Amino acid sequence: MSRIKIVNLLIICTFLFLGLSIVNLQIIQGKKFKTLSDKNCIRIMSQEGCRGKIFDREGLPIVDNELSYDLMLLPQDKREFDKVLLAVSKVLGTTQKNLKDTLKKSFVASSLPVAIAKNIDLKKAIALEELKSDFPNIIIQPRPIRHYPYGSLASHVIGYLSEIDHWRLTKLQDYGYNTKDIVGFGGIEEKYDYYLRQDEGGLLFEVDHRGKFIRVLGFRAPHNGKNMQLTLSLKAQKIVEQCLADKKGAVILMDPYSGEIIAMASFPNFNPSVFTGKLTPSITNLFNNPDAPLINRAISGTYPAGSIFKLIVATAGLETGKINSSTTFLCRGSIFVGKQEFACWDTHNYQDIIAAIAHSCNVFFYKSGLLLGAQTIHDFSLRFNLSKPIPFELPYEASGFVPSPLWKKIYKFKNWFDGDTVNFSIGQGDLLVTPLQMARVTAVFANSGYLVTPYLVKGLDQRDISNHQRKIVNLHLKPRTLNYISQGLRNAVLDPKGTGHVLSGLSISVAGKTGTAQVSHGQPHSWFTGFFPYKNPKYVICVFLENGGPGYYACVVAKQIIEQMANEGLI
Amino acid sequence: MKDLFRNSYFIILLISLLIASIGILSIYSSTYQKEGKFWQEISRRQILWVFIGVLVFIIFSNLNYRWLWDCTYFLYTMALFFLFLVFMLGQVRLGAQRWFKIGWFNFQPSEFVKLIILIFLSRYFSKKSTDDISLLCAKFGIFRAIILPFLFIIVPMGFIIEQPDLGSGMMIFFLFICLLYFTGVRLRYIFVFLSASFLAMPLLWHFLRDYQRERLLVFLNPNIDPLGAGYTVIQSKIAIGSGSLLGRGWLSGTQSQLHFLPESHTDFIFATFAEQWGLAGSIILLALYYLLIRQGILIARKTSDCFGRLLAFGISFLLAIQIFINIAMNLGLAPVVGLPLPLMSYGGSSTLATFIALGILVSIDKRRAVF
């Protein structure tokens, strides 16, 4: 009977089908289901440690942590959801539907608590805790979050915290980073994330289907991140940010002998606490702002140096002997190189090296530059470590650029003309520097010949590591060279016709050089770099105003800063 | 000894007892940790049911199955009566009205109704004379071959689906199709009938309860509602999958022990078993079931009596389809319908009905020589 045979065959086939399905489920997909099974009954109650705090040089906290509360819900008993969510929504002031959506979105497994509201303040957390007697599947989880007592102060040095992105994850996976980890972005938070980050601990335990505790499987204590002490001075930083406020630009205050950064500000800045919440419009605004508030202009912005580059040209001239103290050039307001006229900003008549620095005479440096040749200037620039990253402790440091005849030939297929040399010797043309590089160059004249390496981190978890941080290179400059140039810098302030004469009225003796760097669009960049007090320099200051106009404006900012610092007794 | 293994009576009893013991072990493992007198007693009650089942099996195997022919209409009436009784005063449990209480026993008539309908259909499609082995149906027109018996069936089926017990209702439908096929109704008719039912499906969708629709949708995608209707399927798949090759061992296995798996002693007992005994256990269990069904088919093929043969086929098929649907449902391959796994799942009605069916099977085998 063929029909029976067919049915018989059918039954065999169905049994084979069942057998193969079981093989598929238990062997081929077995691992997956094993982990799912573990997920069901093994629960981790995480206990987060605190991220390391960040202190200033006096030990005052710049960034610390505060407790925030998350509302978690055990999604086991479905029937109670509506009631729980209704009660919770009343406390939180959101709609029940909103909470339900969050719950559905972040649901993982029926036994894993789902965070349905984050960063609840203490009052609401207490109110929710009281609901617990009616709804036992509510969990209020305290969680330390970053607290910024001074808001946006030193935001570029500190950086901000956010959920790890894909690019960082691929790089950091091997170091124990996971998806959804909170990591530092920019600043110290990013560079020293490995030290600052806390180690999550937790309790591993088995639960039944109602979430009832069965037994402990393991425990790991949480560890706090390491605290960091920075070289920043909160007082100085506040002054600097006050004086710079609302202008685009950067200010650096540095110890000329050690390279400690006393203050570093960049404007526009941002408030890092914006990032502790979810992706809000204000974060999107930060990223879309054309003024790039997330960029640290002090280290990541490269700009033409303008007249402050004359320090290097002067050094090159004096060191090579192409000019000396008695060399004078006549400034008639402009010179002709070939058929092209290169102007000075004034008519200075006879100028020696000291006067030329004080008056920032372009003609003097045009002529010195032509004597030296572009290659020599280029080489000296490299001795001052331009065109390279320092390397500094903050991420995204720019290297800047120093042109040379060879570079022009290779990359631009053009010859280097004397006109280029002339431009180069007053810091225009293709030259690009960062404010921090220029602060470092200035420090050489403040500390008589040493190129210091700027640094920010003074101590790590009570341990003073500044000795490891100090890297000081002797540039082996002749004392004479240094002497002439610092005199020139001082005269720039003292001389009534000096470019930095605004600063002469201060009780502190300041030496410095202004710069007005021409740009292709808009106002020139305004520079001031100098050190004070003149005799025993304590600080190097570098003020940079992006499209801030003539160097005078940078001088005014510097004046305000120095004035206030003197008032605060910092000098 | 060799004769013993050729003896269907012995083989069927042995296999069914083996499966029933496995079932008792699994029921024990999934309930012993639960609190309450009811849960503590449950495995002992199942032992009692199996014991009664074996008695019933012995009784039925010694009776002449031909008397079933005589009391077919009586049984049919009884079936309708009980279903009506459930409909009127049955107990609502697990959202369905399938049981009513006789003493301490929750009687679930639909388990027996399946068997009665099988007997009814077997009688309908065969002649009284045991000598005439030719089937009636070859000469039947579509009305007598399909529509008339279907009208008889649709009444109890309607009652059962109304309970609501979609699983058993569908079972009866499958059984009907299967017997049509066995009796040699023209394929053309069967095909027409199937297409008609297929076309009627959207109509039936209308009559389904909300939760039944939900279950069918969840079968298509269990993740649409992981906390609600899809929960059981997901948990069951996790339980089976985490068993891997050798299982987690008896009385261990977190899915069943920590009660993540609902209905772990009834409909989802296979998942409980597979978690604890792994692939090895599951394959052995499948093999046992297959041997049981094979016995049924062997008996059917050897029987020349039309009624007996249809009955034997029907019983084998009844078992096969229940086993298939239940295990497939455990594996997430079939929608969750409340069908027990014969001999394994906890439940007096199901156990008794299965043992009765097996008893009838043996009886058919024994009487064969008589005619």
Distance CA A247, CA A261 (A): 21
User: For tokens 């004359």, what's the residue?
Assistant: A310
In three state form, how does the secondary structure of A125-168 look? HHHHHHHCCCCCCEEEEEEEEEECCCCCCCHHHHCEEEECCHHH
Which chain A residues are Cβ-neighbours of B178 within 8 angstroms? 7
What is the C-alpha R_g of chain A? 32
**Per-residue pLDDT at B132:** 56
Which chain A residues are Cβ-neighbours of B252 within 8 angstroms? none
Q: Which residues in B have their CB inside 8 Å of a CB on A?
A: 178, 181-182, 184, 226-228, 231, 235, 237-245, 254-255, 258-260, 274, 278-279, 282-283, 286, 289-290, 293, 297, 300-301, 313, 316-317, 320, 324, 327-328, 331, 333
Note the Cα A236 to chain centre separation in Å. 18
If you count residue pairs, one on A and one on B, with CB atoms under 8 Å apart, how many are there? Answer: 119
pLDDT tier, B221 (very low <50, low <70, confident <90, very high otherwise): low
Element spanning A351, H or E: strand A349-351
| Beta-strand relationship, A213-220 and A42-47 | unpaired
**Per-residue pLDDT at A278:** 58
For residue A355, which amino acid is it?
Answer: A
Note the Cα B223 to chain centre separation in Å. 28
H helix runs in chain B, sequence order: 2-6, 8-31, 37-62, 66-70, 72-89, 109-124, 142, 148-162, 166-183, 187-207, 210-220, 231-241, 254-257, 269-302, 306-330, 348-367
- Encode pLDDT of A341-391 as tens digits: 998 988 888 999 999 999 999 999 999 999 999 999 999 999 999 999 988
**Per-residue pLDDT at A33:** 86
Average pLDDT in chain A: 87
Among residues A532, A335, A305, which one has the least CA distance to residue A422?
A335
**Per-residue pLDDT at A456:** 92
Kindly identify which residue of chain A lies nearest to residue B258, measuring between CA atoms: A208
> Is B241 in contact with A25 (Cβ distance < 8 A)?
yes
Mutate to test the interface with B, among A3, A8, A10, A11 (most CBs of B within 10 A): A11
* B77: closest CA of chain A, how far (Å): 31
- The answer on pLDDT for A192 being more than 50 is yes
Residue A69, beta-bridge partner list: A120, A142
Mutate to test the interface with A, among B186, B238, B323 (most CBs of A within 10 A): B238
* A16: closest CA of chain B, how far (Å): 9
DSSP-assigned letters across all residues of B213-251: HHHHHHHH-GGGSTTTTTHHHHHHHHHHHTTTTT-S-TT
Strand, helix or coil at A328?
A: coil
Q: How many CB atoms are closer than 10 A to CB A376?
A: 18
Strand, helix or coil at B322?
A: helix
* A227: closest CA of chain B, how far (Å): 43
Mean pLDDT of all residues in B115-119: 91
Kindly identify which residue of chain A lies nearest to residue B229, measuring between CA atoms: A78
Average pLDDT in chain B: 83
Distance CA B217, CA B54 (A): 40
Among residues B205, B203, B212, B112, which one has the least CA distance to residue B165?
B212
Identify whether residues A240 and A208 lie together within a single domain.
no
Which chain A residues are Cβ-neighbours of B331 within 8 angstroms? 18, 21-22, 25
Among residues A110, A347, A250, which one has the least CA distance to residue A548?
A250
Contact in structure between B155 and B87 (CB atoms under 8 Å) = no
Identify whether residues A491 and A395 lie together within a single domain.
yes
Identify whether residues A251 and A180 lie together within a single domain.
no
Contact in structure between A376 and A316 (CB atoms under 8 Å) = yes
User: A209, exposed or middle or buried, with CB in 10 Å at 0-12, 13-18, 19+?
Assistant: buried
Counted domains in chain A: 2
Identify whether residues A52 and A112 lie together within a single domain.
yes
Mean pLDDT of all residues in B233-245: 87
Distance CA B343, CA B347 (A): 9
Which chain A residues are Cβ-neighbours of B239 within 8 angstroms? 37
Q: Is residue A167 part of a domain?
A: yes
Q: Torsion angle, CA of B218/B222/B228/B234, rounded to 10 degrees?
A: 130
Classify residue A524 by its DSSP letter: P
Distance CA A515, CA A494 (A): 17
Contact in structure between A439 and A305 (CB atoms under 8 Å) = no
> Is B328 in contact with A3 (Cβ distance < 8 A)?
no
Q: Cβ neighbours of residue B271 under 8 Å, at least 6 residues apart?
A: B235, B236, B237, B239, B240, B255, B256, B261, B264, B330
Mean pLDDT of all residues in A521-548: 92
Q: How many CB atoms are closer than 10 A to CB A218?
A: 10
Strand, helix or coil at B43?
A: helix
Backbone angles phi, psi at A117, to 5 degrees: -150, 135
Q: Is residue A12 part of a domain?
A: no
For residue B224, which amino acid is it?
Answer: I
**A7-21, A82-96, A120-134: range with highest mean pLDDT:** A7-21
Q: Is residue A348 part of a domain?
A: yes
In degrees, to the nearest 5, what angle opens at C-alpha A116 toward C-alphas A132 and A280? 140
Residue A218, beta-bridge partner list: A204
Identify whether residues A262 and A184 lie together within a single domain.
no
**Per-residue pLDDT at B371:** 46
User: B110, exposed or middle or buried, with CB in 10 Å at 0-12, 13-18, 19+?
Assistant: buried
Contact in structure between A527 and A514 (CB atoms under 8 Å) = yes
Which chain A residues are Cβ-neighbours of B260 within 8 angstroms? 40-41, 110-111, 208-209
**Per-residue pLDDT at B287:** 95
Contact in structure between B140 and B336 (CB atoms under 8 Å) = no
Q: Is residue A31 part of a domain?
A: no
Question: Of A65-79, A303-317, A538-552, B275-289, which gets the smallest average pLDDT?
Answer: A65-79
Q: Is residue A258 part of a domain?
A: yes
Distance CA B71, CA A368 (A): 127
Mean pLDDT of all residues in B326-351: 88
- Encode pLDDT of B257-281 as tens digits: 777 888 888 889 999 999 999 999 9
Global pTM reads 0.61
- Encode pLDDT of A124-148 as tens digits: 888 888 887 777 778 888 888 888 9
For residue A328, what is the domain's CATH number? 3.40.710.10
> Is B300 in contact with A19 (Cβ distance < 8 A)?
no
Counted domains in chain B: 1
Q: Is residue A23 part of a domain?
A: no
**Per-residue pLDDT at B223:** 63
Q: Is residue A24 part of a domain?
A: no
Contact in structure between B113 and B162 (CB atoms under 8 Å) = no
User: B53, exposed or middle or buried, with CB in 10 Å at 0-12, 13-18, 19+?
Assistant: buried
Mutate to test the interface with B, among A6, A12, A13, A18 (most CBs of B within 10 A): A18
Identify whether residues A320 and A430 lie together within a single domain.
yes
* A91: closest CA of chain B, how far (Å): 25
Q: Is residue A13 part of a domain?
A: no
For residue A211, what is the domain's CATH number? 3.90.1310.10
Higher pLDDT, B127 or B187: B187
Distance CA A63, CA A61 (A): 6
pLDDT tier, A561 (very low <50, low <70, confident <90, very high otherwise): very high
Where in the sequence is the domain holding A544, given as residue range(s)? Answer: 234-268+297-567
Contact in structure between A149 and A237 (CB atoms under 8 Å) = no
Distance CA A294, CA A385 (A): 26
Element spanning A567, H or E: helix A551-567
Q: Structure tokens of A102?
A: 């969050």
> Is A34 in contact with B260 (Cβ distance < 8 A)?
no
Distance CA A191, CA A166 (A): 17
Where in the sequence is the domain holding B188, given as residue range(s)? Answer: 2-370
> Is A4 in contact with B331 (Cβ distance < 8 A)?
no
Identify whether residues A129 and A262 lie together within a single domain.
no
Q: Structure tokens of A68?
A: 């925030």
User: A464, exposed or middle or buried, with CB in 10 Å at 0-12, 13-18, 19+?
Assistant: exposed
- Encode pLDDT of A449-461 as tens digits: 999 999 999 988 8
> Is B260 in contact with A36 (Cβ distance < 8 A)?
no
